Homo-oligomer: A and B are copies of this chain.
Amino acid sequence: MFELILQNVSKHIQLTDEEKEYFISILKPKKLRRRQYLAQAGEPCRHECFITKGCLRQYYVDDNGSERILAFAIEDYWMSDMHALITGEGALTNIDALEDSELVLIEKKAFEELLIKVPRFERFFRIILQRAFVSHQRRIIENISLQADERYKRFLERHPALEQRLPQKQIAAYLGITAESLSRIRRQRLEGTKKT
């Protein structure tokens, strides 16, 4: 049950058997049905979350009531509302499941104790955060500087598995375009036509 998260951790730090045992002891498995929330904007969110199966999305509802997606996360990824987790304030974002999902949660208090008892986890989360930070910077830059068809192309290159797995509507919301625009872009790609 915890094999995937242990593998994920071992990509960046090595744990002794004793540390592994302690780490496992603080993990809480949780199942989320499709459309169920892990976090809701304005509400507290008191756990780090690792995905062992399924797919989550982190999104925001804009003034027009449209859902704008910040990120998707599938198995082997971490996702939480970092603002709520570190400040104790309400979440900035909504996180819900796009598929029936299986998660591993670490409660805030257990998370803080983990960092103190096994400081190597500071290294682990520093590395995870560096990558998340760069991915967000890249996202901001691409939203600023690329046309929708190029953003879609980059999305496919970076997340080849997601195209088949996600409803087109969700991909369009991630790209910040309408489902109709995405259909047109996909059609043009299939026809080998390049939009200029």
Contact = CB atoms under 8 A, between A and B. Distances in A.
Interface of A: 60-63, 68, 70, 82-83, 86, 92-93, 115, 119-120, 122-123, 125-126, 129-134, 136-141, 143-147, 176
Number of copies: 2
Contacts of A61: 145
Contact of A140 (B82, B130, B136): B136
B119 A123 contact: yes
B145 A62 contact: yes
23 contacts: A60-B141, A60-B145, A61-B145, A62-B144, A63-B145, A63-B146, A68-B144, A82-B130, A82-B134, A82-B137, A86-B131, A86-B134, A92-B137, A92-B138, A93-B137, A115-B126, A119-B119, A119-B122, A122-B122, A122-B126, A129-B133, A136-B137, A140-B143
A117 to B, nearest CB: 13
Nearest to A144: B68
A196 to B, nearest CB: 12
Contacts of A133: 82, 129, 132-133, 136
Given A126-B125, A133-B129, A141 B176 contact: no
Contacts of A138: 83, 92
Contact of A123 (B60, B122, B132, B140): B122
Contacts of A86: 130-131, 134
Given A119-B123, A122-B126, 9 more contacts: A83-B134, A86-B131, A92-B141, A93-B137, A122-B122, A129-B129, A133-B133, A136-B136, A136-B140
Given A125-B126, A129-B130, A93 B62 contact: no
A141 B61 CA distance: 9
Contacts of A115: 123, 126
